[in-house]
Amino acid sequence: MALYMGPNLLTGPIPSSLGTLSKLNVMSLVENRLSGEIPPTLGNLTQLIEFYLTGNELTGQIPPSLGKCSLGILSLGNNNLTGKIPNEVFLADTIIDLSFQNNMLVGPIPSELGLLRNMVVVDFMGNMLTGEIPVSIGGCQSLQYLYVRQNLLHGSIPSTMKKLTGLQELDLSSNNLSGTIPEFFSSFAGLTYLNLSFNKLIGEVPDAGIFHNATAFSIVGNDDLCGGIPALGLPPCLKQSTKKKKFPRLPVVVSVSTILSLIFISFLIFQYGKHKSNKKQLDPIASSSQLPRVSYADLSRATDGFSTANLIGEGRFGSVYRGNMSLGEHSIVAVKILKLQERGASHSFLAECETLRYLRHRNLVKILTACSTIDPRQYDFKALVFEYLPNGNLDKWLHVNKGEHGGQQALNLCQRLSIVIDVGSAVEYLHDFKPKPVVHCDLKPSNILLDSDMVPHVGDFGLARFINQQNRNQFQSSGWTAFRGTFGYAAPEYGIGNEVTTCGDVYSYGILLLEMFTGRSPTGENFQAEFNLHSFVVAAFPNHVEVVADHNLIPSSEDTERDPNSLLNKEATLSRLASILRIGLICSKQLPAERMQMRDVVKELHKIKEKLYPLRNNEGTFESQIAERTQEQAH
């Protein structure tokens, strides 16, 4: 038996009489305006397996009686609950998902947490928990997601956490943790997101495993760290003999033999001042790149309180709003608000910051600044601000509905060919980026935005990562591979847990190319299991291209009869479409080794473009020269 009553606008207290529904297995009252305390009588629901109260205005303490239920999922986040977490809640060994985020809970994390061997998710972020991380946590051997950011925890990271080898995401940021960063995190093969920022950690940063990928972890706001990979920009660690002790930041007695030490300590003081001045912003991209700073109030004002009237796009990890604000030469911007309640959203924010701070290409979306702060409700708030591209995303133009875009017709062959070449150039730039290639991991039409001149810009780098070609196996992960792209576009090898490579982007690009020139989405209802967009085109290639090609791209017989000297006759068009689809088929082959490299793809497409539209010179735009040739033939 299940009871679902949210999201709605329900107000008032939760009726204690709900405790009489003895056969209830699932209760969900999420996203209402319920107030008052959680009735202790709900502990009588001994068959209750899933209990969701997230997103209400509940107060008071968590009833210890909930420990009598056979709970597998207990979700009480985003309320105003107070008091300590009752030990009894952890006595139900059936619990696999425990979410108490964004309340006002106090006291220590109960040591009974370690009894939950089957626990998969623990989310305590955004409370006022004190004490140390219990050493008993090593007993949670099935734990995959642990979020404890923005609390008041102190002490070191316990060595017993080395038993949590299945961890995929770990966030201990914004606490008062001290000591060194444990080396054992480097050996966690499935760990794809690690946030240790804004604590009091000291010592050397490891440089293996997850610490070799700057987009996968964050350590900002720990002023006494050193070493690590060069991308972190940390000072080198002092080499000390075993007889010497490490000295924290203390007054230094100067002697003749300490000149070199003074130089190094001066550098540390400089770094400390720089970090300290940026602590309020908590913004890795704005602080490092000297970009404009914006506050929550600025973004709220620019988007009219994040009004739905300004909502221009929505994805798994964020919502994008049109905003009116002055940032340099930009008066209109696109503001992406991260959905931090989604697991992986913080990783997405970090990935976009770390990749876009380095990347510069005319066909990539330009980031203007970022914001990481606390909203008026004292919840974490993260946002990215991009240039605004008025023609929206490519998906809306490929599958345009009548009346959209001011009556704009479907994209013509010339426009589509220019777009795929520009997108290919951007992907080629990513794959050839130095010192390490970048894999986008989510190429698809909805992530390609068009400016006022219909020039494409690849965006949404929330899944992107730098890759180390010398040690690719370090990226193998059974957990994060589920987020390696979108169904229909993601490379088949990602589905069986293979590591992220540039070949995966090539596959997605191949599917994108096939979609653009057939007009069919790879997620269409006709494509299932083995019969996908690739096999659909293969069945007609090369002799029946006209059957699968988008009919908007092929001149009709009537057009050819009216204009026998047409620049693009039907035969020439079908021939070039076959050449384009051939590239898409090679890029989307099942085996990664059989796919083309992006630099070769771009070269081949340029050749097709030149044969289809031979140009006399390099002056003017491509489209203007085509128009000029057409006018000449008309005369």
Interatomic CA distance for residues 388 and 459, integer angstroms: 12
Q: Which amino acid is at 556?
A: S
| Residue 469, number of CB atoms within 10 A of its CB | 9
Alpha carbons within 13 angstroms on the beta-carbon side of residue 596 total: 21
Q: Over 236-261, what HEC string results?
A: CCCCCCCCCCCCCCCCCCCCHHHHHH
| Residue 307, number of CB atoms within 10 A of its CB | 11
The distance of Cα 276 from the centroid of its chain, to the nearest Å, equals: 27
Is 283 an active-site residue? no
Catalytic residue chosen out of the listed positions 442, 460, 505, 550: 442
Residues 6+ apart with CB under 8 A from 345: 317, 318, 338, 339, 382
Task: Give the C-alpha distances (Å, rounded to integers) separating 506 from 143, 427, 513, 599.
Answer: 34, 8, 10, 11
Q: Are 81 and 102 in contact (CB under 8 A)?
A: no
CB under 8 Å, gap of 24 or more: what pairs does 301-304 form?
301/325, 302/333, 302/335, 303/335
Phi, then psi, of 128 in degrees rounded to 5: -130, 40
Interatomic CA distance for residues 229 and 245, integer angstroms: 24
Least Cα distance to 27 among 35, 36, 17, 270 occurs for: 17
The distance of Cα 425 from the centroid of its chain, to the nearest Å, equals: 23
Q: Which residues are registered as beta bridge partners of 335?
A: 321, 385
Taking every pair of Cα atoms in the chain, the longest distance, rounded to a whole number of angstroms, is 95
Residues 6+ apart with CB under 8 A from 611: 576
The sheet carrying 217-218 orders its strands as 2-4, 26-28, 50-52, 73-75, 97-99, 121-123, 145-147, 169-171, 193-195, 217-218
Q: Which residues are registered as beta bridge partners of 371?
A: 383
Q: Are 144 and 167 in contact (CB under 8 A)?
A: yes
Phi, then psi, of 221 in degrees rounded to 5: 85, 10
- DSSP, collapsed to helix, strand or coil, labels residue 178 as strand
Q: Which residues are registered as beta bridge partners of 564?
A: none
Interatomic CA distance for residues 248 and 201, integer angstroms: 11
DSSP-derived secondary structure for 97-133: EEE--SS--EEPPPGGGGG-TT--EEE--SSEE-S--
| Residue 354, number of CB atoms within 10 A of its CB | 23
Residues carrying an active site annotation: 442
